[in-house]
Amino acid sequence: MDRNRIAPQDEAVLELAIRCAKGAGEIQRDRYETDISIRTKSAHIDLVTEVDHACEELIVAAIEKDRPEDAILAEEGGGQERADSDWRWVVDPLDGTTNYAHGFPRFCVSIGVEFRGKTQVGVVYDPLLDELFYSVKGSGAWLGERKLKVSSTSVFNQALIATGFAYDVHKSPSDNIERFARVLKSARGLRRDGSAALDLCYVAAGRLDAYWELKLHAWDVSAGSLIVQEAGGTVTNCTGGPAPLTGEELVSSNGLLHETLISLVQDQ
């Protein structure tokens, strides 16, 4: 990324977000496949580990030290929301906790930063592959030094797509399963890898052609949505309208497949 093209205030935020993501990623790498404590949250399949908390503590402490005026929304409850702040950090300290707890090597740190209610900076770090995805609004999306571009797949039966399922899948009738079946029968392949933030970055990188999910949260989608859009992709809700920053509905694609994906994932 050409740092000269970025406003100094954005650059400072990007640098801090990268430092936080790498610091948390180091914790994830160090404690991966060790004997960590694991608890459940909203359901027996919704896990939280000591590593989620340790990563969040590191990130929140670094933001509060450097930028005490900023608001923070962090998944495990650290940080402070401040209604009067221009900047808000939206933090998923460990996206892919189930994978992490099982030693399945697909998880990351995700940090989105909003300026006056719009995402301005996004950073996603995969510590095992040492892959740093990042973007500043208007400056493209990057994987390290490589500028990202979404795929050019335009035929749905040649597309590799990903999705995910919410932690209430065992009890809620709104479970994404019919949508899953429709897409499965129309696409080349369909994945459920367990990290929403990485799924979005993979759409940006052209490794996936599209990704959708329901009932996500702001911290799952904040950074990744910006990264997809800055890589030339499209992010909407299930009817093609603006995707809520809060993550309840998210459909992302290279743009070329968007209409078809919407026709398959909207209510029927």
> Which lies closer to ligand IPD via its Cβ, residue 139 or residue 176?
176
Q: Candidates 74-82, 113-121, 164-172, 239-247 — which segment interacts with Ca ion by CB under 5 A?
A: 74-82
Residue whose tokens read 């890589």 = 231
> Would you give the binding string for ligand IPD spanning residues 105-134, x where CB under 6 A is met?
------------------------------
Residue 17 CB, shortest distance to ligand IPD, in Å, is 17
Q: Which is nearer to ligand IPD, 12 or 190 (CB)?
A: 190
E strand or H helix at 75: none
Residue nearest ligand IPD by beta-carbon distance? 164
Q: Which is nearer to Ca ion, 81 or 259 (CB)?
A: 81
Minimal distance, residue 105 CB to ligand IPD, in Å: 14
Half-sphere exposure of 43 (CA within 13 A, CB side): 10
Query: Minimum Å distance from CB 199 to ligand IPD?
Result: 7
Q: How far is the CB of 156 from ligand IPD (least distance, A)?
A: 22
Sign of torsion over alpha carbons 191, 194, 200, 205: negative
Per the structure block, which two tokens stand in for 204?
């940006």
Q: Which of residues 146-185 bind ligand IPD (CB under 6 A)?
A: 164-166
Distance CA 127, CA 217 (A): 22
Residues 194-213 that bind ligand IPD (CB under 6 A): 194-196, 213
Both structure tokens of 26: 């180091």
Among 10, 56, 70, 95, contact with Ca ion (rule: CB under 5 A):
95
238 φ/ψ angles, rounded to the nearest 5 degrees: -75, -5
CA separation for the pair 221, 32 (Å, rounded): 24
Please spell the DSSP secondary structure of 185-213, one letter per residue. TTSSEEE--S-HHHHHHHHHTTSSSEEEE
Query: Which residues are near ligand IPD by CB under 6 A?
Result: 92, 95-97, 164-166, 194-196, 213, 216, 220
